Amino acid sequence: MSVLLIAGSPSHTSRSAALLESVGKRLAKHQIEVTQLQIRDLDAQALIHADFAHPSIVRAVQQVADAKVVVIATPVYKAAYSGVLKVFLDLLPQTGLKGKTVLPLATGGSPHHMLALDYALRPVLQALAAKQILPGIYATDAQVFVLPEGASTLSTDLAVRVDEAVHVLVSEVLLPKPHADASFAPVHFSQVRCSV
């Protein structure tokens, strides 16, 4: 069962990428296959001109198609997700997320942009036919610490929310435990007793 991590930040070092990486590391501890897609690394001209046949776009769209779970991370600009992410999502087929579980992540300068996940990104994910969209995780810049050498840490409360989201992904979507068979053994009609 593969998970695709999509980084929707135009920057090489970003808090949204750090948040996404923390999800990937937690999934890897459960032996979950994780692949990454950095939208900023796709051919810029192909993205802008919607060149569906460009090799980098074809590969990226195939990565989405092959994944069972998609985790999307974006910075919030002007109360919406990044333009880089918007351009990429526009290149996916109308049912590009069909049958997939999606975990949206976002970072922003203040708590005031928290609703961007529900009012800007979630409708697009629904329009792309996502099977299930988990509650998103929004983090302020003060909750994600990116160090100069590229390492990052999360605040305690944010780390707890990320742990909970990963637990849901693993236990309910990726590695669900089989339920005990709750069906009853067949009963012959002669064994049925009725009282009136």
Query: Which CATH number applies to 2-191: 3.30.70.330, 3.60.130.10, 2.60.40.10, 3.40.50.360?
Result: 3.40.50.360
Please state, in angstroms and rounded to a whole number, the distance separating the CA atoms of residues 174 and 2. Answer: 8
Q: Where are the domains of the chain?
A: 2-191
Q: Which residue has the higher pLDDT, 38 or 110?
A: 38
Looking at residue 67, its pLDDT comes to: 97
Please state, in angstroms and rounded to a whole number, the distance separating the CA atoms of residues 65 and 96. Answer: 7
**Could you give the residue ranges of the DSSP H alpha helices within 147-191?**
156-168
Residue pLDDT, tens place only, 92-123: 999 999 999 999 999 998 888 888 999 999 99
Write down the pTM of the prediction.
0.88
Extract the tokens encoding 96: 């590009």
Tell me whether strands 144-146 and 152-154 are parallel, antiparallel or unpaired.
antiparallel
Looking at residue 112, its pLDDT comes to: 84
Quote the mean pLDDT of the chain.
Answer: 91
- pLDDT surpassing 90 at residue 147: no
Q: Is the dihedral of CA 86, 37, 103, 93 positive or negative?
A: positive
- pLDDT surpassing 80 at residue 129: yes
Please state, in angstroms and rounded to a whole number, the distance separating the CA atoms of residues 188 and 193. Answer: 11
How far is CA 151 from its chain centroid?
21
* pLDDT, average across residues 113-138: 94
Looking at residue 150, its pLDDT comes to: 76
Please state, in angstroms and rounded to a whole number, the distance separating the CA atoms of residues 42 and 139. Answer: 26
